[in-house]
Amino acid sequence: MSQENRPVILVVDDTKTNLDLLVHLLSDHYEVSVALDGESALEIALSDQPDLILLDIMMPRMDGYETCRRLKMRAETSDIPVIFVTARRETTDEAQGFALGAVDYITKPISPPLVKARVKTHLQLKQAHDQAKFQNIILEEKVRQRTSELQETQLAIVRKLGRAAEFRDNETGMHVLRMSHYAQILALACGMNEQEAVLLLNAAPLHDVGKIGIPDPILLKPGKLTDEEFRVIQTHVTIGAEIIGNEQSPLLKMAFQIAYTHHEKWNGSGYPRALRGNDIPLVGRIAALTDVFDAISSQRPYKKAWPLEQALDWLQQESGRHFDPDLVSLFLANLPKILQVKERFREIHT
């Protein structure tokens, strides 16, 4: 084995004769450093990261037990195997050493063949442990990358499915972008954390995915719908829930709730289940508000956009009826951010 690749052993003992003996015994095959006390051993272990420590117990100021305890407390040194080398022979002494995390216990006077064999064995175990740890790091990174790829793929599919629903409804992709960004702002304002708000941003585009299943003559009808036609339109929420399904993905779970509940109303007059108040999932209440606001404040081929003041007045009128009143208040409080999004994703009409 080359000098550069030889394992490093730290020998700790307050008696020079003992140090010299162990250094002489091990230096043919290992790089050996020494320390005369526990404090020095801790410093060397932190800076040099030896592969193994041979540690005496009976030392002044800081004994071997305390030195081992401190080594195991530090993340940088906790994995370094420690072998106690001591004249203490009681079973209770051995038990205390193992309890502190030592891997072996050698009594003095030492047997050179025993020391060499124990050192070799624990260095091999340490090497195997380090290799397994490295392989685990590589595996975790591969899993993380694969998970990220799958999440990105899932997110891309969700976005495209949301766009498909909008095109089917003669809407534009800008509506999806605006209402989902409004929803993210509102989510943060009402206490969701950043991760939950981003999840909502990405799930909201599927709110109307069920319109894919509505017949063209009804979905694209320019005039007023009959009662029967409106009942057909209402089925888009259950169709959307069926399309998304009962999946385990947090993104699709949230998308399911939004698709199924964004037409429920705070006063219980919505559909499909006439839920009332806080029985409506928060993400459904947020989507209801942001979807309607964008719909009434945006121009479509079949209608003009409401002026901003009129749209905001209507939101306040519907507070406590159509919409969660707390969300309406938060929406108005965050209006500058809402308007920045509206300008950022505004449509160009020719």
pLDDT tens, position by position, 236-274: 999 999 999 888 889 999 999 999 999 999 999 999 999
Determine the pLDDT at residue 142.
83
| Average pLDDT over every residue of 132-157 | 79
d(CA 97, CA 89): 11
Determine the pLDDT at residue 2.
45
| Residue 57: both structure tokens together | 């117990």
Determine the pLDDT at residue 349.
45
| Average pLDDT over every residue of 192-221 | 91
Closest alpha carbon to 286 in 66, 12, 33, 294: 294
d(CA 83, CA 122): 9
Residue 1 has pLDDT above 50, yes or no: no
pLDDT digits (tens, 9 = 90+) for 283-325: 999 999 999 999 999 887 667 889 999 999 999 999 999 999 9
Task: Give the CATH architecture of domain 3-138.
Answer: 3-Layer(aba) Sandwich (3.40)
Q: What are phi and psi of 159, to 5 degrees?
A: -65, -45
pLDDT digits (tens, 9 = 90+) for 44-102: 999 999 999 999 999 988 999 999 999 999 999 999 999 999 888 888 888 999 999 99
Specify the higher pLDDT residue, 151 or 280: 280
Determine the pLDDT at residue 151.
67
Determine the pLDDT at residue 219.
85
Mean pLDDT of the chain: 90
Give the neighbor-by-neighbor strand order of the sheet with 82-86: 31-35, 8-12, 52-55, 82-86, 104-107
Q: Which fold has domain 169-344?
A: Hypothetical protein af1432 (1.10.3210)
Residue 172 has pLDDT above 90, yes or no: no
Residue 192 has pLDDT above 90, yes or no: yes
d(CA 286, CA 211): 20
pTM metric for this prediction: 0.60
Domains in the chain: boundaries = 3-138, 169-344
Determine the pLDDT at residue 189.
97
Determine the pLDDT at residue 297.
93
Q: Which of 23-27, 127-131, 194-198, 272-276 has the lowest mean pLDDT?
A: 127-131
Say if residues 264 and 284 touch (Cβ distance below 8 Å). yes
Determine the pLDDT at residue 88.
84
Q: Which of 118-132, 215-229, 314-328 has the lowest mean pLDDT?
A: 215-229
